[in-house]
Amino acid sequence: MTLGLSPVYAFMKNASMVDFPGKLAAVFFVSGCNFRCGFCHNAELIEPRAERLSWDRLRQACGRFRADWADAAVVTGGEPTIDPGLPGLFDLLKECGFALKLDTNGSSPGRLGALLPRLDYVAMDVKCAEDTYPRLTGFDRVDLVRESIRLIREHARDYEFRTTVIGPVHTDAEMRRIGEMIRGARRFVLQPFVPRGTIPDAALRATERTTPARMRALKLIMEPYADQVICRE
């Protein structure tokens, strides 16, 4: 039996068909994040949570997911790469027979690079153009974000870069600057901003959901920068 607490704060009750392309995936949440995005849709995970699953409880959950035909595991947050227990978590998930996907903001390229050989899929959020990062995320080490993009593009088995489109922020010009950051990528995903009462920035709670027409227009703008551009609802 493995003693102590895992990095996992919680997991989705049922396996997901949308979080790992082509897979039925168990989704595990790691709390704590080094970004402070006003539009965060998992705001309850920004601060590290003391309540975490024991390794034995996590193993039991993995067994149940496998019995229910889940063939993959997604680790998301928060920002999982800032938790020092992440390598051990992926060891357990791989031992349970899952294909592995990591969701990341790209702020820790050293840890990300060490994990890439064992990951089957990486999804990195590219929040905005480089000069917008400090204002939008509270994170000013854009050089680290840039290095993570390079590592993923050159070494990830499969991957996507993705941007949540917020009307007041993601103008045509802003999106083209994002395009230059990820130029040559295999896959780029556009996600609509969906206002919720729980997001940290009160002003953004009143911002309208990104329209399908706007998503289609941005898809055309982004197509020169990636092999595949997807609008995800």
pTM: 0.96
Mean pLDDT (the chain, rounded): 97
Binning pLDDT at 50, 70 and 90, where does residue 1 land? very low
Average pLDDT over residues 196-219: 95
Spatial separation of the C-alpha atoms in residues 229 and 220, rounded to whole Å: 9
In angstroms, the CA 200 to CA 225 distance is: 31
Please report the pLDDT score of residue 233 as a whole number: 82
Residue 2 pLDDT:
62
CA distance 184 to 40: 27
Question: What Cα–Cα distance (Å) separates residue 188 from each residue in 14, 222, 229?
Answer: 27, 8, 5
Alpha carbons 47 and 100: distance in angstroms, whole number: 24
Say if residue 122's pLDDT is above 50: yes
Which amino acid is it at 41?
H
- Report all structural domains of the chain as residue ranges with CATH numbers, in order of start: 8-231 (3.20.20.70)
Alpha helix (H) residue ranges in the chain = 55-67, 86-95, 109-115, 133-137, 142-155, 172-182, 202-205, 212-222
pLDDT digits (tens, 9 = 90+) for 77-121: 999 999 999 999 999 999 999 999 999 999 999 999 999 999 999
Question: What is the predicted pLDDT for the residue at 76?
Answer: 99
Predicted confidence at residue 220, as pLDDT, reads 99
Measured CA to CA in angstroms, residue 200 lies from 81, 90, 113 at distances of 22, 30, 30
- The token pair at 75 is 């680790």
Q: What is the pLDDT of residues 127-174, one digit of tens each?
A: 999 999 999 999 999 999 999 999 999 999 999 999 999 999 999 999
**What is the maximum alpha-carbon separation in the chain?**
54
For residue 78, say if its preceding peptide bond is cis, omega within 30 degrees of 0.
Answer: yes
Per-residue model confidence as pLDDT tens digits over 2-49: 679 999 999 999 999 999 999 999 999 999 999 999 999 999 999 999
Alpha-carbon span 84 to 126, nearest angstrom: 23
